[in-house]
Structure 1
Amino acid sequence: MKRNINIFEFPLNLGLTKKDHETEPGVRKLPDWLRKFDFHSRINPTNVYRLEAPAYSMDFDGASRVRNADQIIEYAEKQAEFILQNYEEDAFNIILGGDCSILIGNAIALKNLGNFGLFYLDGHTDFIPPELSETGGAAGMDLAIITGTGHEKLTNIHGLKPYFSEENIFCCGNAETDDEEYVSQIVNSGIHYFDLYRLRENGFRKTAEDFLEMVSNKCLDGFFIHLDVDILKDEIMPAVDSRTEDGISYDDLREMLDPLLQNFSCFGIEITILDPDYDENGTYTRPFADHLIQIIKK
């Protein structure tokens, strides 16, 4: 990659509901945790930017039926403004979460910059309305929120609904395929949907190339990548909020990311959900950082 690289740190964990044994979800520690494995120094970014997140809470917002909705909205607004103030036009941006709800602020920023595509890599669809959510956590609804499903206060910040158009999104890697009502939400949308099994069938590189062809044919202003690490096989990445046994390998990830990251229309990639509290010795984080750096720096 022959582009300047900037790192943005958004250590937000308000989109997750804490488990009984937790004080708060540990995903907010991810940027500092990756730094311990020399992620930042090996990436050698031009700049590192950080926006501190509010303290964790479990507030339930009755209007939107989403936990911490008001705090998430406030942070998303600040996050979008922060990106727009600091991004460089030709730079590649690595955005470190945090949980998946950081996508909302990123999406608002990109909507301000034009009409973007989204390559969504996740072990879940995150595409359900609040009434189907068991937890009320925005991190499990972020793809729905950014495309306009859910309460207006989250989906239509600054009148920008939708932040991404459904037809400009590839959602890849869902391993939660047994729940028919859950899956039907995305199947009946305009999103290009590749569950884990269809992704394998279509081919990892080909799926990425199909996405790039769509971006080109539609003359989009660029595209963004969402990488929730729970798309990886549980044996190589169990340090996540919601584990699934099946998933992709690092070779599969490389096959998809290589053509995407070599394309200068790529605004950047966000990395979410890796929880240092579930990987105290870095057994899973170290190889993750190594593989990602190799892919990005190729």
Structure 2
Amino acid sequence: MKRDINIFEFPLNLGLKKKEHEIEPGVRKLPDGFRKFDFHKEINPQNIFRLDAPDYSMEIDQESGVLNAEGIIEYAKEQADFISENHKEDAFNIILGGDCSILIGTALALKKLGNFGLFYLDGHTDFIPAHLSETAAAAGMDLAIITGTGHEKLTDIQGLKPYFLEENIYCAGNAETDDDEYVQQIIHSDIHYFDLYELRKNGFGKTAGDFLKMVYSKALDGFFIHLDVDVLSDELMPAVDSRMDDGIDYTNLREILKPLVHSPLCFGIEITVLNPDDDKAGSYTQPFVKNLIQIIKNKED
């Protein structure tokens, strides 16, 4: 990559409901887990920025029905300002979570910068309102929130609703297709939706290419990539909050991400939900880090 690279660390875990065996969700350790396997060293960014997150809690917001809504909103505002103050116009930005709710803060920042597209690569759609959520966790409804579905205290922060237009979004990789009510939410939206079956059928490289054609045809100001590591098969990445058997492999990941990451219109990529507490030996984190470095640096195996 010829562009300068910045790394932003947003170790937020308020968007997840903790498991019974947990003190708190371990996804907040993702940036440190990456550093352990030399991600930062190999990427060699111009800058590393970090915004520490508030302490974990399990507080249900009565207005929105969303877990820790107030804390997530305040962090999103700080995150948006933090990105706006520190990003450089021609830099590629790597954002390390944290859970998927960090997308809200990034979305706020991008809305202030212009009209952006979003490539949402995730093992779930995360496109449901709070009343359909079993956990009330924002990480499971972040795509809905950023497009305007949900309580306005989350969807209309600073009067910026919607942060992304549905028609400027590709959502790809959902393997949770057996819940009809869950899936119907996104099918009836204007989001370009490719579940795991359709993604394979359409082709990984072609799907990325089609998205780029859309970005250019609409003359968007740029686009952003969301990557939840649970889009990978459970065999490759079980250290996630919500495990599923099916998913893509690293060859698929390279095929879909390389044309996106190396587009001059790509603002950056965020990585979410990898939990180092579930992979203390690094058996799954290390190969992921290696593959991500290869994709970003445009290296072969």
TM-score calculated relative to the size of structure 1: 1.00
- 1:97: which partner in 2? 97
Q: How far apart, in 2, do the equivalents of 1:65 and 1:41 lie?
A: 41
Whether 1:10 and 2:7 are equivalent positions in the alignment is no
- 1:52: which partner in 2? 52
- 1:189: which partner in 2? 189
Q: How far apart, in 1, do the equivalents of 2:263 and 2:72 lie?
A: 31
Alignment of 1:108-257 (within 5 A): 108-257=108-257
Q: How far apart, in 2, do the equivalents of 1:261 and 1:67 lie?
A: 32
Q: How far apart, in 2, do the equivalents of 1:115 and 1:144 lie?
A: 18
Report SS of the residue matched to 1:295. helix
Q: How far apart, in 2, do the equivalents of 1:209 and 1:129 lie?
A: 30
RMSD: 0.3
Any runs of at least 4 consecutive aligned residues in structure 1 with deviations exceeding 4 A, and if so which?
none
Q: What is the percentage of aligned positions where both structures have the same residue?
A: 73
Q: How far apart, in 1, do the equivalents of 2:197 and 2:4 lie?
A: 36
Instruction: Give 1:47 shift.
Output: 0.1
Report SS of the residue matched to 2:199. helix
Q: How far apart, in 2, do the equivalents of 1:32 and 1:19 lie?
A: 21
Q: How far apart, in 2, do the equivalents of 1:56 and 1:130 lie?
A: 20
Structure 1 unmatched runs, 5+: none
Alignment of 1:44-83 (within 5 A): 44-83=44-83
Q: How far apart, in 2, do the equivalents of 1:136 and 1:181 lie?
A: 16
Report SS of the residue matched to 2:174. coil
Aligned pairs, how many?
A: 298
- 2:276: which partner in 1? 276
Code of the aligned partner of 2:204: F
Report SS of the residue matched to 1:194. strand
1:28-61 deviation digits (Å, cap 9, x = unpaired):
0000111000000000000000000000000000
TM-score calculated relative to the size of structure 2: 0.99
Instruction: Give 1:261 shift.
Output: 1.2
Code of the aligned partner of 1:192: H
1:197-231 deviation digits (Å, cap 9, x = unpaired):
00000000000000000000000000000000000
1:149-196 deviation digits (Å, cap 9, x = unpaired):
000000000000000000000000000000000000000000000000
